[in-house]
Amino acid sequence: MLDFRHETFLALCRIGSYTKTAEALHLTQPAVTQHIKALEAHYGNRLFTYADKKLTLTKHGELLYRFASTVASDSDTMTELLRRKTLSNPPLRFGATLSIGQYIMPHILEQILLHRPDTQVSMLVENTHHLLDKLNRGEIQFALIEGLFDKTAYHSELFATEPFIAVCSGNSPLVNRPLSFRELTQNNLIIREQGSGTREIFEHLFAKHNLSVTSFSKVTEVGNMEVIKQLVKAGLGITFLYKAAVKNELMQGEMNQLNIINPDTYHELNFVFPRNSQHASAFLAWLYEFKKYLM
């Protein structure tokens, strides 16, 4: 367990303001400052720098943040276990990004509930940024992430690889034509909001071709995948997403996969949890269970 100074440190890392951290923890601002100075004196190094009105972790601060986050998460998990009447069938609390949670996990959860009927399951579906924040806070045990993240900050394992494709409506004039990435920018792009895994993968893919979201003639941002699919089916633009998300639409001819020249279509989906967690073996057991039911 962490002492109160480390808890203050973690809150300050997340909030980024001494004043707002003091308000969140019901402390005075001098008390927050004193807690941080005590930690810096204990470790013999600065934990934060302050420049241009922005609080930034030093390298030593980043190291302490990773350690303290793992300890806090492990402590919450252990507390939850110890409060249970029995240690068998511990609760499962995890997160998944939208494409994974909505289009890959339903079958897996169905099998988990069939084969482990006594297990209490809670799956949170959020974007990559929010899931990593909840992982750092100990609110979830692990996360299934489609987006980009700092692999040095977490323990990650490959969950699956999934084609990342461009699609249009079933009757679009773009069907069956070989298209370059630059030619695609002449269309209306319908895409998820910033912070989503799908958006990050798209931006990373187009950056390889010296292109970006702003390269498109028109961009429509929508925070709901089903709405995006409806707009594309109506012929109002193109989108990029994981093939699993449009498997049914492709089979029924409501959408078509665009024929991109030299595509870089496969992307990894990762199983992520705090680095050096004492619960690693239990988390990995769930990874193997999930992979067993992958379709």
Q: What is the CATH number of the domain that holds 58?
A: 1.10.10.10
Q: What is the pLDDT of residues 50-79, one digit of tens each?
A: 887 789 999 998 888 888 888 877 777 777
**Is 178 in the same domain as 258?**
yes
- pLDDT at residue 86 is higher than 70: no
What pLDDT shows up at residue 1? 64
Q: Which amino acid is at 134?
A: K
54, 78, 102: which is the final residue of a domain?
78
Which string of b and e fits 6-21 if b means at least 16 CB within 10 Å?
Answer: bebbbbbbebeebeeb
Average pLDDT (202-206) is 92
Place 82 in a pLDDT band, splitting at 50, 70 and 90: low
- pLDDT at residue 139 is higher than 80: yes
- pLDDT at residue 84 is higher than 80: no
Which domain covers residue 131, as residue numbers?
85-159+268-292
Place 81 in a pLDDT band, splitting at 50, 70 and 90: low
**Is 263 in the same domain as 280?**
no
**Is 263 in the same domain as 274?**
no
Mean pLDDT of the chain: 90
pTM over the 0.75 mark: no
**DSSP string over 164-219:** EEEEEETT-TTTT-EE-HHHHTTSEEEEPPTTSHHHHHHHHHHHTTT--GGGSSEE
Place 276 in a pLDDT band, splitting at 50, 70 and 90: confident
Average pLDDT (242-258) is 94
**Is 263 in the same domain as 173?**
yes
**Domains contained in the chain, number:** 3
Average pLDDT (165-186) is 93
**DSSP string over 79-116:** HHHHTSS-SSS--EEEEE-HHHHHHTHHHHHHHHHHH-
**Is 167 in the same domain as 179?**
yes
- pLDDT at residue 42 is higher than 70: yes
SS3 138: coil
**DSSP string over 240-262:** EEEGGGGHHHHHHTSEEE-EESS
Q: What is the pLDDT of residues 189-199, one digit of tens each?
A: 999 998 888 89
**Is 187 in the same domain as 238?**
yes
**Is 284 in the same domain as 146?**
yes
Average pLDDT (205-229) is 94
Average pLDDT (226-242) is 96
**Is 21 in the same domain as 40?**
yes
Distance separating alpha carbons of residues 120 and 131, to the nearest angstrom = 20
**Is 170 in the same domain as 258?**
yes
Share of the chain above pLDDT 70, in %: 96
- pLDDT at residue 110 is higher than 70: yes
**Is 285 in the same domain as 154?**
yes
21, 45, 78: which is the final residue of a domain?
78
**Is 37 in the same domain as 177?**
no
Q: What is the CATH number of the domain that holds 110?
A: 3.40.190.10
What pLDDT shows up at residue 194? 87
- pLDDT at residue 233 is higher than 90: yes
16, 51, 78: which is the final residue of a domain?
78
**Is 168 in the same domain as 241?**
yes
What pLDDT shows up at residue 88? 63
